[in-house]
Amino acid sequence: MSGIVEDVSDDNYETIIHAPASLVVYGIASCEPCQAYDPVLETIAKTHTHIRVGKAKMHVPGRCREIKKRHCFETYPTTHFFSHGQLLAAREGKIEATELAALISRYFPSP
C-alpha cells in the first residue's frame, strides 16, 4: 500500500474498504482525541504498509454525506477494520499505539 494516511471521502470510500486490509478512522476537527490519534495513525501507516489507513473528516460539509447515511457514530474517533468490504471490528475512542498494533496483528497478519 502507500504508507500514508489517506483522506477518505464518499468518492473513494468503497475502494478503500474493499481493499484486502483497511483501517478507517472517522473523526471531526474539533475533537481533541481525534487530533491526538493522528500521529498514531501516521506511524501505523508507515509500519504496516500492507494495510490501507484512512481518515474520514466527518465535519467537512458534503465530503462524507453517504458515509454518514451508512454509519451512525456516537463517539469520535471511531475506528473500523475492513477486509474486502466486510466490517471486521469497530472501536470507539482513541486507541493507543500498542493496542492498535495488536488489533492489526489480530485482524491483518503480515503477509
CA–CA gap between residue 53 and residue 71 (Å, rounded): 18
CA–CA gap between residue 80 and residue 68 (Å, rounded): 14
Helix (H) or strand (E) holding 86, with range, is strand 86-92
Interior angle at CA 67, CA 66 and CA 73, nearest 5: 135
Residue ranges per structural domain of the chain: 5-107
pLDDT tens for 64-103 read: 999 999 998 999 999 999 999 999 999 999 999 999 999 9
Residue 109 has a pLDDT of 85
Residue 3 has a pLDDT of 85
Q: Which CATH superfamily is domain 5-107 in?
A: Glutaredoxin (3.40.30.10)
Residue 1 has a pLDDT of 54
